[in-house]
Structure 1
Amino acid sequence: MSFTYSNSVLNFRAINRSNCFHKNGHHEGCHTLNNSYLLIFALIEIVLSQIPNFHKLSLISIVATIMSFTYATIGIALSIAKIAEGGHQRTSLTGIPVGKDMPSAEKMWNTFSAIGDIAFAYSFCPVLLEIQDTLRSSPPENKVMKRASTVGVSASTLFYMICGTLGYAAFGNDAPGNYLTGFGFYEPFWLIDFGNLCIVIHLLGAYQVFIQPFFAFVENWSKEKWPQNKFITQEHSLGKVKINIFRLTWRSVYVVLATLVAMIFPFFNSFLGLIGATTFWPLTVYFPIEMYISQAKIQKNSFTWIWMKVLSLACLIVSLVAAAGSIRGLVVSVESFKLFQSMS
């Protein structure tokens, strides 16, 4: 989950720099080390990681959802304000034109990496099974999940497509990877701060939604492996709170290790693309398609079987291309970074 750390740092430092620019003027560099922001994020996650299981995340999930729509709305409003100021930004259907500042090979690799970023948007799919497991059996879980997925994906797609198109219209070919952390908007600084804070809160919740199934897997496996080990199985009461020493220890260690990885490799966009590329095809495309073919007993070489196989192959090619672009981006970034010295 290093990508959540990297993205949270982008937003923490955006808050710091917008305040610095507001106070000292835009001529100031306002640069600072990112490690302090990573430590703040990690400390909060250590506390949140003690939530015992996925079923207890409803409040955090609701807050994260509200934050998501809040910062998207702020981004849309700021984009409209930027566009209304005039001064047309350079835009084109194919993005930055190939030329002196953008060689064709560089644009190709950036495009591949961007495909990985898009694929990463589908990383929520494996969590759907965990969500469905928390639902009551009446009405049927599959019908509830189908309706919830349709509404959720449609709303998210609408908001983020608007953010993407208006953001590009506002910034043009200079649009940053995360446009709320771009500094085309210096005022109103407090609104930018609030938007970036909403993203941080969203990421705090998103981290838990994605990592809790992994926590549960490790802990259930450990209990089955060593059922007589009291360190692993025994629950201690502290008022109304139940504390398991193994859960407390291993989850805290995991967060610490993830924080160290984020400090060592502070390459947000390339990591995001690589994670998206490597998880998109197997988890979002291949296994669901194969399960559907088996469950629905679709006849081999039938029209439906063929086009689903073609879809799977096309998505595999997308994943491979995106992975290649992201790996190349990581290699380029590694050449210029200093260990534990990531600066904003």
Structure 2
Amino acid sequence: MRSGRMRSARMRSGLAAVVCALGVTTALVGPALVDGGDDARRPQASERSRPGPHPLGAGSEAAAEDCEKPEASLRPSGASGPAIKRIKERKIHGHKVGKLIAGVDQNSYRWGYRDPATGELTGFDIDLVRAIAKDIFGDPDAVIYRTIPTSQRIKALQQGKVDIVVRTMTINCDRIKDVAFSTAYFQAGQQVLVPDDSSITGYNTTLRGKRVCTAQGSTAEAVLDEPDKGAKALGAIKVKPVPNQLDCLVRLQMGQVDAVITDNALAAGQAAQDPSVKLVGPRFTDELYGVAMNKNDDDLVRRVNQVLEDYRRGGADSPWQRAYRTWLAEDFGRTQRNPAPPDPLYKN
């Protein structure tokens, strides 16, 4: 057993060096989030009215309490409004660029990551960004990508640094107080990722006293903070939050934490990259990913929902199914044999 653990540790150490390098890349690219120039930003709160409370409730606290179907979004429309006009007429450093600014990840394998062969961003989420850009501009390459950490997704939208966030972002009642979402484009859930020789069997008492890594601002962090089923309820779990989900994998590989809790969609990609880690236990939440936007951009929300209507349409030959086969089928094939996009839910 000891020799097996040593081999596993050596494997994790070697792979950690590779992933650490990716983490450095994130740190270097991060400032690109704000390099669009003054002309590219949306007017700040001092220049326009602040977003009011979400119509689901009178005030943010009431919105969260009254929230039953956070995935319900505005009905689709191909019409242009103020947000679409702003995007099409965008200027950077005084020059009209006419591009969509999308907040994405560059380190989530299969979802949003840089192809080592080309250096280009690619993945399931990136395909969706390209579909949105093609609908607005007629060109799937009319995109400025901004790589953003998990904890900065909402702030980037509120400050007008990006038009959309397509970054495995779960729709939930807390987040709809601050941003607007499209209809759901993927269903996932939280799961536990551990070293291959771990005694942890899932999200249960085998985590008692263990060091668990989560990304700041993630659904996993919120679950672990819940009094009835979080870290305290399971028994003295030591939560170690980090800015980006990839940082958790690095810590796991280096033996600094005992487990990672994250979306199974992301964890499946990490397990595919690294044979020394594995997913354990069942998925213990059900979550829906959506495209996030500024709460004032109703016409953009409707336009994205129209794109998603077309993206789902076509059965086995739909753009959604083609993207699934390209990026996710290999990792999800054993547990999700008949994949399908979530049915859209619209507000009355």
TM-score interval for Structure 1 and Structure 2 normalised by the shorter chain: under 0.3
Could you tell me the TM-score, scaled by structure 2's length?
0.25
Could you tell me the TM-score, scaled by structure 1's length?
0.25
More strand by share: 2
